[in-house]
Amino acid sequence: MSLPSIFKKPMVMLIVLLLGTAGCANEKGFSIYQSQDVNAVQVQAYNDFSLHIADKLLEVSNGENLFISPLSMAFALSLVLNGAEGETRAELQHTLGLDGLTLEALNEGNAVLTDLLKHSDSKVELKIANGLWTRKETPIEEGYIRTIKKWYGVKVEKLDFEDAGAAQTINKWVKDNTNGRIEEIVDPSLLKSNVLMLANAIYFNGTWSKPFENSLTRGAPFYLADGSEETVQMMWKKEILAHKETESFKAVRLPYGSGKWDMVVVLPKEGLPLTDAVAQLFSHSDTWREGFKEGEALVELPRFQMEYNQSLKDTLQRLGMNSAFDSATADFSVMTGKNSGLYITDVIHKSFIEVNEQGTEAAAVTSILVTGSTPPLDKWFQISLNRPFFFAIEDHTTGAIVFMGTVFNPK
């Protein structure tokens, strides 16, 4: 397997994120739901979608950087799904792994998940926003607007798509909702050829429960897949952590905040290429998420930062979502009424992540463009992440994977 030709340095990262809903937002710092309210089948479907879309992107890549937010994609697609009918809706649900789930159950499940994620840990910041912008002359069904506002807190605005100011308005929304980490998602020329745009933005900021000491960070070699090496800034810590070791990999959990979130870092055994290990790791998330034990651990982890910008149209079509992109078959009549002629022209994903001694900061935006005719060290578990490795960030309250990725080169 290989990675898309996006970056000059090779690293692969996969991020999984969830949308928010206005109807269940709680500004007092605690959730109105409990963990038993989560639809476990729905969460598993989203986690499976994460693995599937990552696998498809890995198949067409060349060992270069990838950084995505699959559930930001999934919930942006859920906004479109709420406006679809017939085969278009069925393909969207199948792509997301939601066959048989009613639209009401899907939306309610999203509300529960989002509220729990946003209030899982007061020491971890998670901000979520959703938007819909339409040409000022494009009619949108009131029933559709009510639904996406209720469940997703969508900001709805009519704009003059022929005016460059429309793109500026959308990009300001993106910048504001990602704490400035993503500044632009659309340009005026692209907006002119479409009649509406939907977007999801999410921002995550988590500090390690016990930060890495800055004074211990030092230059160290990182061994690349091709046998060469890069000098990177390697962080170092020693503490009691959950870890595991199998015949094919080592793994350790690095907790954030009060411990309700963590990053799972997985290092394939020496001699096993990460691209081969990923095939095993992506076969089922339990492969690398279960069987941890608490104990003394020594961890070396490189600092890294990256950003990503990619069209997802081809990948989603390979996952079976075809009708929505076809002007002859797309059915978004729930959104704009019968015979609207709307179809999706592109799904664009943009994201950012930084991992350092203090913690992790990440942001992602998924936009959908629509057009139409409208002790002694030998006693410690040791893991030195000095070659390509896998990682994930997950929330324990809901069981949802929130970030996931593979690092081929931290520079």
Domain shared by 282 and 148, yes or no: no
pLDDT at 6: 30
Model confidence at 10, pLDDT cuts 50, 70, 90, reads very low
The answer to the question of residue 403 being in a domain is no
pLDDT at 211: 96
The answer to the question of residue 6 being in a domain is no
Domain shared by 74 and 148, yes or no: yes
Domain shared by 75 and 191, yes or no: yes
What contacts 383, CB < 8 A, 6 or more positions away?
243, 250, 251, 252, 265, 267, 297, 298, 299, 300
Domain shared by 337 and 281, yes or no: no
Domain shared by 221 and 364, yes or no: no
Q: Answer yes or no: is pLDDT of 25 > 60.
A: no
Least confident of 18-32, 165-179, 345-359: 18-32
* CATH code of the domain containing 278: 2.30.39.10
Residues 338-353: what's their mean pLDDT? 88
Domain shared by 58 and 152, yes or no: yes
The answer to the question of residue 34 being in a domain is yes
Model confidence at 401, pLDDT cuts 50, 70, 90, reads confident
The answer to the question of residue 408 being in a domain is no
Placement of tokens 């499976």 in the chain: 48
Between 73 and 68, whose confidence is greater? 73
107-131 residues labelled b (16+ CB within 10 A) or e (exposed): bbbbbbbbbbbbbbbebbebbbbbb
Domain shared by 294 and 313, yes or no: no
pLDDT at 55: 85
* CATH code of the domain containing 77: 3.30.497.10
Residues 13-25: what's their mean pLDDT? 33
Q: What average pLDDT does the structure give for the chain?
A: 87
The answer to the question of residue 137 being in a domain is yes
Q: Answer yes or no: is pLDDT of 190 > 70.
A: yes
Tokens, residue 410: 């931290």
Q: Answer yes or no: is pLDDT of 373 > 80.
A: no
- Per the DSSP assignment, residues forming a β-bridge with 230 are 222
How many C-beta neighbours within 10 Å does residue 171 have?
17
Q: Answer yes or no: is pLDDT of 403 > 70.
A: yes
Residues 53-59: what's their mean pLDDT? 84
Write out pLDDT tens, residues 237-280. 999 999 999 999 999 999 999 999 999 999 999 999 888 888 88
Residues 297-322: what's their mean pLDDT? 94
Domain shared by 243 and 293, yes or no: yes
Residue 395 host element (H or E): strand 389-395
Q: Answer yes or no: is pLDDT of 199 > 80.
A: yes
- Which residue segment(s) compose the domain that 290 sits in? 214-302+376-398
Between 281 and 95, whose confidence is greater? 95
**One-letter amino acid for residue 255 of the chain:** P
Model confidence at 17, pLDDT cuts 50, 70, 90, reads very low
* Residues across the chain: 411
Of the chain, the percentage scoring pLDDT greater than 90 comes to: 61
Write out pLDDT tens, residues 137-149. 888 999 999 999 9
The answer to the question of residue 84 being in a domain is yes
Domain shared by 268 and 285, yes or no: yes
Residues 152-173: what's their mean pLDDT? 95
**One-letter amino acid for residue 45 of the chain:** A
Q: Return contacts of 218-224, CB within 8 angstroms, 24+ apart.
A: 220/300, 220/302, 220/386, 221/386, 222/302, 222/386, 222/387, 222/409, 222/410, 222/411, 223/386, 223/387, 224/10, 224/387, 224/388, 224/408, 224/409
Distance of alpha carbon 175 from alpha carbon 158, whole angstroms: 19
Residues 183-188: what's their mean pLDDT? 94
pLDDT at 330: 95
pLDDT at 194: 94
Distance of alpha carbon 233 from alpha carbon 386, whole angstroms: 11
Domain shared by 167 and 92, yes or no: yes
Residues 212-235: what's their mean pLDDT? 95
Q: Strand runs (DSSP E) across 120-208, as ranges?
A: 124-135, 155-159, 196-207
Q: Number of structural domains, the chain?
A: 2
Domain shared by 145 and 64, yes or no: yes
Domain shared by 58 and 165, yes or no: yes
The answer to the question of residue 112 being in a domain is yes
Distance of alpha carbon 152 from alpha carbon 25, whole angstroms: 10
The answer to the question of residue 110 being in a domain is yes
